[in-house]
Chain A
Amino acid sequence: MDRFVWTNGLLEMNETLVIQQRGVRLYDGDDKECCICIPLSQVIFFEEQAAGIGKSAKIVIHLHPAPENKEPGPYQHSKYSYIKLSFKEHGQIEFFRRLTEEMTQKRWENTPVSQPIPTGIGPKAGRTRAVGIVGIERKLEEKRKETDKNISEAFEDLSKLMEKTIRFKSYLLSMGIANPVTRETHGSGTQYHIQLAKQLGDMLQAPLEERGGMMALTEVYCLVNRARGMELLSPEDLVNACKMFESLKLPLRLRVFDSGVMVVQLQSHSEEEMIASALDNVSDKGSLTAEEFAKLLGLSVLLAKERLLLAEKMGHLCRDDSVEGLRFYPNRF
């Protein structure tokens, strides 16, 4: 492994100790090795290698070719372009995490290069001056850095994408949709709506219960489509599916208020309870606006207003409409 340089084991000016782990064995390629250092800027990519029977967990680090001006190290040439760190006493997970952090932050790019700057020529911001061999070397250095950056950025995106995919899949599963009903699987038309209604019936139970038994259709639309990710539902499909709840004897109902607001509610959901609780809350506080009521119950303002209006319709509440806004009082008339 010709990328290593001899060092005294102490920290240089621009170096900080990130992590120290005992019992990590260094392999040159697949050959076993000893104490040296590699600047992180040399690292292209690294990955974990799981432990096996009789084998410790390892981190494999892929490296750039050695730069010409590299200081002397244990080996001048190596047939490998990667090294392995074998964690005999574990700790590889934390090491990997910290290495990932450092590779993302790339702190070494912010610290000044410890090489002496040639007198009389200061490097211009963002551009290198092509003056003689030093200029050429510097240009090569810049190019190398660029390539470096691009490669690690590319790998960054890949790892982020991997993360997202895994997280997305687990969210789908948590929503209970392993195979979303699509027009391909079930065609269009009533069959599609029926299947969809059934799937919605399963899916919406938990969210509805969390929200006190009622959700605005818009909320349902957002929730469902977010979970599906692909093959999104159109609003018409959603409404048509919801209209089938009753005929399919599902425990959900689509309901339209006087104001035109559409909600999906659990069939078990009791109207009287809702109104009684609304009256209690209002009496308790003397008077409430829709916003205050929403905040109190953790509902959306839309649904809170519908509840208050319903209670008013039943004669339990009366309204005070002024420049201060719309407020509801217990009906003392």
Chain B
Amino acid sequence: MSFEWPWQYNFPPFFTLQPNVDTRQKQLAAWCSLVLSYCRHRKLYTLDVLEAQESPVFNNKKIERKLSVEAIQVVFEELRKKGNLEWLDKNKSRCLIMWRRPEEWGKLIYQWALQADGKAEMITMDDGKGVKFF
């Protein structure tokens, strides 16, 4: 199934980081959801920043616009704040994309476990990424 691009993807201003604060917030929100849905669709779990610039997500060849490296960093930072991204190295060149946040995964698995067996106990470990099954 081909990926459905959101309307913003074909709107040239989408690829320019907006100076107006309110506009920028809306813009970044749209970028975040686009990155996550694209990664989910393509089953991508990691992203390399330099490669990302050439990826169709950040580079719309049809309208000849692409997001600058600085802007990509801003989008990634936004994703990180939301909990959807984790940097894999100190240089911030490679990252983990979690199109479902750990807590979300946890909930899903817990619910599945309940359905499956009726017995499940949630035990948190470290960052809350662990679920123990009984």
Contacts and interface: CB of A to CB of B under 8 A. Distances in A.
Interface of A: 287, 312-313, 315, 318-322, 327, 329, 331-333
- For the complex of A and B, 6 pairs with smallest distance between CB atoms: A320-B12, A333-B26, A321-B16, A318-B13, A320-B13, A329-B13
A151 to B, nearest CB: 69
B22 A320 contact: no
A320 B22 CA distance: 16
Among B13, B15, B19, chain A packs the most CB atoms within 10 A around the CB of B13
Contact of B15 (A313, A315, A320, A331): A320
A17 to B, nearest CB: 68
A333 B18 contact: yes
Among A312, A313, A321, A329, chain B packs the most CB atoms within 10 A around the CB of A321
A319 B18 CA distance: 7
A319 B22 contact: no
Nearest to A331: B23
A51 to B, nearest CB: 73
Given A329-B11, A332-B11, A319 B16 contact: yes
A319 B65 CA distance: 13
Given A315-B20, A322-B15, A332-B11, 5 more contacts: A320-B13, A329-B12, A333-B13, A333-B18, A333-B26
B65 A318 contact: no
B53 interface: no
Contacts of B13: 318-320, 329, 333
B23 to A, nearest CB: 5
Contacts of B20: 312-313, 315, 318, 331
A166 to B, nearest CB: 53
Contacts of A333: 8, 13, 18, 23, 26-27, 30
Among A312, A313, A331, A333, chain B packs the most CB atoms within 10 A around the CB of A333
Report, as a range, how many residues of chain B touch the other chain.
10 to 19
Given A329-B11, A333-B30, A320 B16 contact: yes
Contacts of B30: 333
Interface string B1-20: 00000011001110110111
A327 B12 contact: yes
Contacts of B8: 332-333
B19 A315 contact: no
Contacts of A312: 19-20, 23
Contacts of A322: 12, 15-16, 64-65
Contacts of B65: 320, 322
A329 B12 CA distance: 9
A320 B13 CA distance: 4
22 contacts: A287-B12, A312-B20, A313-B20, A315-B20, A315-B23, A318-B13, A318-B16, A318-B20, A319-B16, A319-B19, A320-B13, A320-B15, A320-B65, A322-B64, A327-B12, A329-B11, A329-B13, A332-B8, A332-B11, A333-B8, A333-B26, A333-B27
Contacts of A319: 13, 16, 18-19
Nearest to B27: A333
Contacts of B11: 329, 332
Contacts of B12: 287, 320, 322, 327, 329
A16 to B, nearest CB: 65
A318 B30 CA distance: 15
Nearest to B7: A332
Contacts of A287: 12
A57 to B, nearest CB: 72
